[in-house]
Structure 1
Amino acid sequence: MGNCCNKEDQQEDSNITEYLRSGEINVIKKNYTGKILGTSKVCFENTSPIKIQNSQGILGKRTVKIHGCIIPGLDPRGEVDKDCQDNYIYFIEDNSILCALFDGHGKEGQKVSNFCIDFVSKFFKKNIKDFAYNAEETLIRMLHKCDEKLRRSKVPNEMAGSTAVAIYITSTSIYSASLGDSRGIIATLSDTIIPSPVPTHKFYKKITVKRNLKPVPLTTDQKPNHEEEFARIQTAGGCVEQVTDNFGKPIGPYRVWMKNKDYPGLAMSRSIGDRIAKRLGVIATPVCHDFQLYDTDQFIVIASDGIWDVMENIEVVNFVEMFKKGCGESTDLYPARPENSSIARMLCEEARFRWYGIIEAEDVMIDDISCIIVDFEDISGAMKAQVKERKVEAFHSMAIASQHNHANTSINEDDDETND
């Protein structure tokens, strides 16, 4: 798929630096036992990237480049007309950076994520000094107030809501607050090699890096089957189960349900909005962390699950490391190559390319894909710095015995009252 730009270095993989406008996949057909019956060819035209942004600022002694991109999701068969429900915003102000990314869900998910962007913009401008004084408390207050304002707004949010990742960066520290399963990581130099997972399908680009990087989580995904989250939901009267297909087989993620009802079906334990789920133990209190920023830190990636569902943390880190120096400011041109794309767009395009393999195996839609990449200027001699281990608070997942039969094989993750 595409042509090679450096024939000497990339003779083995001629599609390494290019993404095309059109796609072609062979969707596998299976019977109820999982036996493959054949394939059907599906050809489609990809959606164009939207909200492409590139900025530069100063953070202490470093020059910082920030790139953002959103690629709307797509039904390859053309049967569902899908709104893009991802959105993001960032600010460079007073030697600090605030990034916020939202992934809406439910029929009004686009309105919810847009509401969040508008609220954060106003909140940051009004409370910028509070961030400098107490960043963690201010991030919590920002997301709580966003949830409260949404509840009192005209935006329907009984069965709609959004994830949230908000990260505030100074010249010495990083503060994170998250709701749901959008995620933030930081790439830092390492003296050990972290292996990438073995590819499970043909839709991926070969990644080769010259430096060893380690992905450090800045946020923690919040799922209803995490032990602490499950206990809170159960105490509030909620039920946590997977959807089952017509043959009674559990499929997909664990979801929050009202007992003996087929709603709301939310696949996260914390969110903005989701008023019905809030009665069942889902909360808008973010999980927060704070970290020291080291000279060895290279870049931060904040993204929706449109990326994390198809790429592991180490794959994202290595991909950004491989391509970021060759990328320019982004356009919406195709074929997408480093010279006409920012690193944020290249990462989104790679994630979409990997979705092809998921579609072939499971016949699903391509999710909305969005990311912000904060690229720090490399500091020579950085490995000499003393670096302490940084860890996020982890949740313990658990298997849950089924109590009800939520049979629904046609759940749409974005356009119905569900989210993953």
Structure 2
Amino acid sequence: MGTCTIKINKEARTVIESAVVKKKFEKTPATPDENINFKFIKSETGKGLSCTRNDFEVEGLFPSISEDPFAEKPLTFNGRNSNKNFVLSNIGITCRKGLKDGLNQDNFFLASRKNLLIAGIFDGHGENGHKIASLARKFVNRFIWEDNDLSQNPIISLQNVFRKTQEEITKKCLKTNVDCSYSGCSATVIIYQNSSFYIANIGNCRAYISKRLQEKLITIPLTNDHNLADPSEKARIQSHSNISCFSLLSTGSDKEKSENIDRQFNLNVTRAFGDTKFMDFGVISEPFISEFKLLGDEYSIVLCSQGAWELVKTSEISKILEENNLENFTNILANLAWSRWIDEYNDLVEDITAIVIPI
């Protein structure tokens, strides 16, 4: 994410039929019925996942300083036949370095075992954001598979995993003298299990679902960005007891107040891994979690870092999916996002990462 600037999403927020959204509070209780950061879509029928038949594990390598702009991040495969099985899954991935100073700060992983698929996308920010994103990728993947609640209660598992990941990132940075005071990463993690999938997100990596509707393909955002443009997040940050300097909020329009805070603190996201000094300002690593039942009309899940989605409309994601096969989708999206950044900012392009998973 680097020097990213958060823009308020002006696209209409889509209300999904039969969604029950609980009132938001600051803390996340341990049970779905009380989980204030929890959304559940019910259905009478379920659908299996076509892409979880074979075992594989793939992740992005640690970035190299020699990477050129728009260079593709190399993949690394773990396990026997992992490369072959991944190809058979028809999952598309692209992770490309932006046009900016520094390294590619995006990273990701996907792992499939026994009809269970897990995917994560991480968007780093700050001087050491690439290191935090790489650590988050490593620890989230490890802790999910180690968590005893994974099969029976993925919601509890995701809560445990995000908490442990933040703890381990802090310990690792302290041990290796990596400053994570003002460096961190956003994250969106998805677990597919049986006919359900679970999404946990912090910051501004996004997840979308594409569905068939009367022979048309529509794409629906599944996550909300955590930043000062979100009224509940802004209120939570403002109310944080350790912030005496939020007198900035007392004057000016809402837009001016958010911009002042952003300039003063570089507070681009209000939930993230790392960012240990920003915890004094109310930044937390606790995720919002959603559960969705597959109805049978779903086509794919799309995960994007900010570089991929910020200048691309949701309707354009649908159009690219409709007109191209899934293997080509991520590269076409990356090319469109790159051209939009060049048109908008001329000499600045954020790192661009996208994953598409067929359902």
TM-score by length of 1: 0.60
In structure 2, distance between residues paired with 1:144 and 1:178: 13
Deviation of residue 253 (structure 1)? 6.7
Question: Comparing both structures, which one devotes a greater share of its residues to helix?
Answer: 2
Does structure 2 conserve the Cα–Cα contact (< 8 Å) formed by 1:56 and 1:65? no
Spell out the pairing of 1:274-293 with structure 2 (5 A cutoff): 274-293=275-294
Pair 1:47–1:367, CA change in 2 (3 A): same
1:372 is matched with which residue: 343, 355, 358? 355
Q: Which residue of 2 aligns with 1:97?
A: 117
Deviations for 1:62-94, whole angstroms, at most 9, x for unmatched residues? x8532211010114xxxxx32110000011111
Alpha-carbon distance between aligned partners in 2 of 1:185 and 1:85, rounded to the nearest angstrom:
22
Contact between 2:144 and 2:157, CA under 8 Å: does it hold in 1?
no
Post-superposition Cα deviations, 1:117-145, rounded to whole Å, max 9, x if no partner, equal 11123213323x53221111111211111
Q: Match of 1:66, as an amino acid?
A: I
Q: In structure 1, which of residues 148, 153, 158 is the aligned counterpart of residue 167 of structure 2?
A: 148
SS at match of 1:65: coil
Please state how far the C-alpha of 1:240 moved relative to its aligned partner.
9.1
Q: Does 1:233 align with 2:240?
A: no
What are structure 1's unaligned runs of at least 5 residues? 1-44, 76-80, 192-210, 243-249, 328-341, 377-420
Q: CA deviation at 1:299?
A: 0.4
Residues 171/350 of structure 1: CA separation in 2 closer, same or farther (3 Å cut): farther
Counterparts of 2:124 and 2:248 in 1: how far apart (Å)? 22
Judged with a 3 Å threshold, the aligned counterparts in structure 2 of structure 1 residues 57 and 47 are, in CA distance, closer, same or farther, namely closer
Percent of aligned positions that are identical:
25
- Is contact 2:342–2:348 with CA below 8 Å preserved after alignment? no
Q: Which amino acid aligns with 2:181?
A: E
Q: 1:1-400 to 2 correspondence within 5 Å?
A: 46-51=69-74, 56=85, 64-75=89-100, 81-127=101-147, 130-154=149-173, 155-191=178-214, 211-236=215-240, 237=243, 239=246, 254=259, 256=261, 263-324=264-325, 327=327, 342-360=328-346, 364-376=347-359
CA RMSD of aligned residues (A): 2.7
d(CA) in 2 for partners of 1:212, 1:240:
49
Aligned residue in 2 for 1:417: none
What is the one-letter code of the residue matched to 2:246? C
Cα pair 1:254 1:267 within 8 Å, conserved? no
**Contact conserved, 2:209 with 2:222, CA < 8 A, in 1?**
yes
Check the 8 A contact 2:122/2:187 in 1, yes or no.
yes
The Cα shift of 1:288 comes to: 0.9
SS at structure 2 position matched to 1:352: helix
Aligned-pair distance for 1:350? 2.1
Deviation string, structure 1 residues 14-72 (Cα, Å, up to 9, x no partner): xxxxxxxxxxxxxxxxxxxxxxxxxxxxxxx85321235877579xxxx8532211010
Distance 2:211 2:109 in 1: 24
Shift of 1:263: 4.8
Cα drift, residue 251 of structure 1: 8.2
Tell me if structure 1 keeps the 8 A contact 2:228–2:258: no
Amino acid at match of 2:317: V
> Does the CA contact (< 8 Å) of 1:224 and 1:254 recur in 2?
no
Return the letter of the residue paired with 2:288.
Answer: V
Contact 1:55 1:66 in 2 (8 A): no
- In the TM superposition, what is the alpha-carbon distance from 1:170 to its structure 2 partner? 2.1
CA contact (8 A) 2:116 2:193 kept: yes
Q: Secondary structure at the match of 1:91?
A: strand
The higher radius of gyration belongs to 1
Q: Check whether the contact 1:55–1:65 (CA below 8 A) recurs between aligned residues.
A: no
Partner residue of 1:246? none
* Equivalent residue letter for 1:368: D
CA distance in 1, matches of 2:229, 2:248: 8
Deviations 1:241-296, CA, capped at 9 Å, x for gaps: 79xxxxxxx78974756xxxx65311111111111111111111111111111211
Distance change >3 Å, CA 93–CA 149, structure 1 → 2: same
- State the alpha-carbon separation in 2 of the partners of residues 103 and 252 from structure 1: 25
Between Structure 1 and Structure 2, how many residues are aligned? 274
